[in-house]
């Protein structure tokens, strides 16, 4: 006990009698305090940033006029993104539904396998029924690389178009998307159901002769600012995403459609 007490007293005298040691300890303690405060401030800043981002994303999700496209962030369709207008409608090349003198032309860049395009397909079907005279719909291909069935589905629609059945195959393909049953064998079976010359259709599809035709649409879409699917140009203004029917209806009415 005496030895331990002696050691403690000796240690205390060292700290008290050496001002340099005390000064150094003061500096070390000061740096430690400042560093701790700095780390707390940085942590609070980072957490507040994360909180802001979470609130922003929550606000976008709650916005009924916003809609996601494939893996893109949600966008507000009422504020069209900067883009170039698509190429003029070519009746000899494009797939067009509706009268040539319609007040509103919708040019859609779409991926047959995209779940949001399936949702937009339903919207456009209703638009066609509600505005048979004032709206025409133009379909162009934009198959996304991470959708394994999208490219061949697009080619299948073009092979069917050679026999005058693009829109019929278009409906079949989106029905298969909804059923979760997409593939080359499905398109060949659909061709038979549609009464196509299956030998010609199968040769067209298996040979990949329509791949370049699909690539042309994709390339043009990329050049004019399409970043995902579906992308719809309403009288030249880009509307991104699969938005609710009532919202899309309001947009085309503002563009001039009345019936």
Taking 80 as the threshold, does the pLDDT of residue 169 lie above it?
Answer: yes
Nearest to 190 by CA among 219, 160, 216: 160
DSSP-assigned states of every residue in 14-75: HHHH-HHHHHHHHHHHHHHHHHHHHHHHHHHHHHHHHHHHHHHHHHHHH-TT-B--TTSPPB
CA-CA-CA-CA dihedral for 201, 205, 206, 209, to nearest 10: 110
The per-residue pLDDT for range 100-148, each reduced to its tens digit, is 999 999 999 999 999 999 999 999 999 999 999 999 999 999 999 999 9
Query: What pLDDT was estimated at residue 34?
Result: 55
The per-residue pLDDT for range 46-94, each reduced to its tens digit, is 444 433 333 333 333 333 333 443 333 333 343 344 568 899 999 999 9
Taking 80 as the threshold, does the pLDDT of residue 159 lie above it?
Answer: yes
Would you state the structure tokens that stand for residue 164, as one six-digit string? 């005058």
Paired with 139 in beta bridges are 95, 108
Would you state the structure tokens that stand for residue 230, as one six-digit string? 């579906």
């Amino acid at each position: 006990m005496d030895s331990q007490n002696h050691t403690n007293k000796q240690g205390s005298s060292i700290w008290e009698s050496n001002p340099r040691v005390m000064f150094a300890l003061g500096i070390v303690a000061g740096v430690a305090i400042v560093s701790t405060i700095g780390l707390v401030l940085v942590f609070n800043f980072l957490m507040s940033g994360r909180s802001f981002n979470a609130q922003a994303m929550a606000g976008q999700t709650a916005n009924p006029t916003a809609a996601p496209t494939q893996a893109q962030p949600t966008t507000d369709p009422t504020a069209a993104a900067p883009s170039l207008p698509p190429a003029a409608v070519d009746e000899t090349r494009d797939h067009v539904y509706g009268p040539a003198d319609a007040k509103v032309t919708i040019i859609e860049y779409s991926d047959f396998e995209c779940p949001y395009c399936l949702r937009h397909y339903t919207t456009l079907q209703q638009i066609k029924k509600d505005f048979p005279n004032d709206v025409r719909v133009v379909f162009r291909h934009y198959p996304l690389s991470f959708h394994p069935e999208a490219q061949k589905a697009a080619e299948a629609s073009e092979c069917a178009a050679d026999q005058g059945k693009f829109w019929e195959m278009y409906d079949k393909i989106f029905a298969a998307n909804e059923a979760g049953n997409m593939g080359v064998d499905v398109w060949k079976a659909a061709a038979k159901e549609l009464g196509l010359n299956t030998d010609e259709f199968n040769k067209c599809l298996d040979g990949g002769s329509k791949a370049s035709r699909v690539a042309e649409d994709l390339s043009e879409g990329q050049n004019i600012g399409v970043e995902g699917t579906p992308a719809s140009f309403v009288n030249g203004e880009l509307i991104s995403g699969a938005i609710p029917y009532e919202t899309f209806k309001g947009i085309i009415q503002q563009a001039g459609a009345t019936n």
